[in-house]
Structure 1
Amino acid sequence: MLSVAVAALNERDPGRLWPLLAGALPGVCGGETLIYKLDDWNENEGTVGMPPAVAAAFDGLGAADLGLLRAGYPFARHYAAGSGRTPLTARRTAGAAWSASPTARLIGRVLDADHVLAIPLPRTTTPITGCMVYRSGTDFTDDQVRAAEQVQPLLAAVEQQRQLLEHWQRSAVPGPAGERAAECALTPRELTVLLLLADALTAAAIGRRLGISDRTVHKHVEKIYRKLGTRDRISTVLRAQRLGLIPMP
């Protein structure tokens, strides 16, 4: 999983980050497949991401079935009611009502799965976002739920990276920005740190946003200085703006 995360953090296309994770995450916590939803778990709207094989299984379903999938029963109501974001299984959340629910029947029919493990992204408030891992047979064990909890910070880091890269793509000079970033040998991670530097965040604040230590932030900043030929934050931001790497204020 660590190697997949490293690959994801070095991926320039934000649309590929979660598909990279989707192939490795189920095996970490004893699942067989997953879907991820990076907007609110509700039945009326929102994009559901899934591996191609899962998408093929859901192809042709009606709006009502897709609504059940989006709704994330029984997790959305549970997480919305409190501040906890600990991974939970559907069986432990809903009890016996899970097996009789329309959602359980849907995943049984389409995915041949009996159980779901929700892994919400930590620190999310509204909307509740994250992924759901599916398996057949017995429910997820305590160890598998703990494994899911251990990877939550990693998932949050990848999602933060995705959001920052999308912001960079929207705000930087189209086309040339990516070429210039490659010419300067800036990695995607260094680009996100550069964006936060331009927002005048301290190293500690950048570390909190990205889920990394202050020391790691300083290492990224040193590499950015070296690659852009600068010596301090202000000259670095100004040079990056002149190069079109980040938007002008």
Structure 2
Amino acid sequence: MSQGLDRAYERLTALAVAVLNEREPERLWPLLADAVTGLCGGETLIYKLDDWSEDKGTLGLSPAAATALGRLDDEALGVLRSGYPFAHHYARGPGRAPVTARRLAGRAWPVSATARVLGGTLDLNHVLALPLPGTVAPITGCLVYRSGTDFTDDQVRIAERAQPLLAAVEQQRQLLRQWRRSAGEPEERAADSALTPRELTVLLLLTDALTADAIGRRLGISARTVHKHVENIYRKLGTRDRLGTVLHAQRLGLVPSPGQARHGRGPAAGKSRGQRLRPHGTVTDRDDQ
């Protein structure tokens, strides 16, 4: 691995650490989008966190893509959302290695409907798929776009090394959304407790009676790091053990009390064709506007 690749990974690691201190779950991916685009040698990026399909799910867009894609009609948008040629490729097996459209589809890529939509809208002709590891159909992850030549081997390797970090951010986003749904609007209480966003997600998992190893697997961190977070939680909440901590956190309203709903609907499930762009660059259903 070259020094350039190591530096790129260090930059992405530092960014991921900074992002994990963000309390607003909807800001996590926008904060990552521009950095991932640049590190992988792209010009713009779309991230798909829900369904990778023509009909439903959420498309997050970098600022460079939002304005142009907002001009697409429903048919063109459906072509783009279909994820050609990646959706079929990843659906065939568990492999989630990043790959470019040109390498995957060969000569069929430049004449595909997706390539025509991209070329006519953004003057882009190459796409790199960066799926999150461990996901199943429908695939979630990023599509990075560029013009000119295809992505290099080094840029594909950077994308591969970025996958675990992006997966950790997505896990954090889901847990923060769950925390906000189950505990109401607890931001002020969380701020008063001085818990970091990462500590809040560990606290939420503590209420499920998970071991440190299990929490580590969920968050993509070591058990030792989990124990460090737990120690910080004890110190900040003035508690000494897991049970006392969970009970105290429930009294403070930081985590749901017994009987409160812990599982709500996932983010922005789509209903039908006809998605448009929200002001913040998210493709969603017209019914939501």
Instruction: Say whether the fold is shared (TM-score over 0.5).
Output: yes
Name 2:197's counterpart in structure 1: 188
The correspondence for 1:70, drawn from 81, 86, 89, is 81
Question: In structure 1, the residue corresponding to 2:26 is in which secondary structure?
Answer: helix
Question: In structure 2, the residue corresponding to 1:231 is in which secondary structure?
Answer: coil
The correspondence for 1:43, drawn from 35, 44, 54, is 54
Question: In structure 2, the residue corresponding to 1:186 is in which secondary structure?
Answer: coil
Preserved CA contact (<8 Å) 2:53 2:138: no
Matches of 2:122 and 2:221, distance apart in 1: 36
Taking CA–CA contacts closer than 8 Å with sequence separation of 6 or more, which of the two structures ends up with the larger relative contact order?
A: 2
- 1:88, CA displacement in angstroms? 0.5
- Number of matched pairs: 247
Matches of 1:173 and 1:134, distance apart in 2: 38
Matches of 1:49 and 1:42, distance apart in 2: 14
The correspondence for 2:41, drawn from 14, 22, 30, is 30
Q: Which ranges of 4 or more aligned residues in structure 1 deviate by more than 4 Å?
A: none
- 1:142, CA displacement in angstroms? 1.0
Matches of 2:23 and 2:149, distance apart in 1: 39
Preserved CA contact (<8 Å) 1:43 1:68: yes
Matches of 1:233 and 1:77, distance apart in 2: 45
Matches of 1:199 and 1:126, distance apart in 2: 26
Structure 1: runs of 5+ lacking an equivalent: none
Is 2:250 aligned against 1:228? no
- 1:135, CA displacement in angstroms? 0.7
Preserved CA contact (<8 Å) 2:127 2:146: yes
Structure 2: runs of 5+ lacking an equivalent: 1-11, 259-289
Matches of 1:118 and 1:196, distance apart in 2: 31
- 1:114, CA displacement in angstroms? 1.0
Matches of 1:38 and 1:108, distance apart in 2: 24
Single out whichever of 228-237 and 105-114 deviates more from structure 2: 105-114
The correspondence for 2:145, drawn from 119, 134, 137, is 134
Identity level (%): 72
The correspondence for 1:56, drawn from 60, 67, 71, is 67
Matches of 2:202 and 2:33, distance apart in 1: 25
Preserved CA contact (<8 Å) 1:46 1:70: no
Name 1:200's counterpart in structure 2: 209
Matches of 2:57 and 2:200, distance apart in 1: 28
- 1:3, CA displacement in angstroms? 2.8
Is 2:138 aligned against 1:123? no
- 1:53, CA displacement in angstroms? 2.6
The correspondence for 1:2, drawn from 3, 6, 13, is 13
Question: In structure 1, the residue corresponding to 2:60 is in which secondary structure?
Answer: coil
Name 1:98's counterpart in structure 2: 109
TM-score (norm 1): 0.97
TM-score (norm 2): 0.84
- The one-letter code matched in structure 1 to 2:90 is Y
Name 2:181's counterpart in structure 1: 170
- The one-letter code matched in structure 2 to 1:229 is G
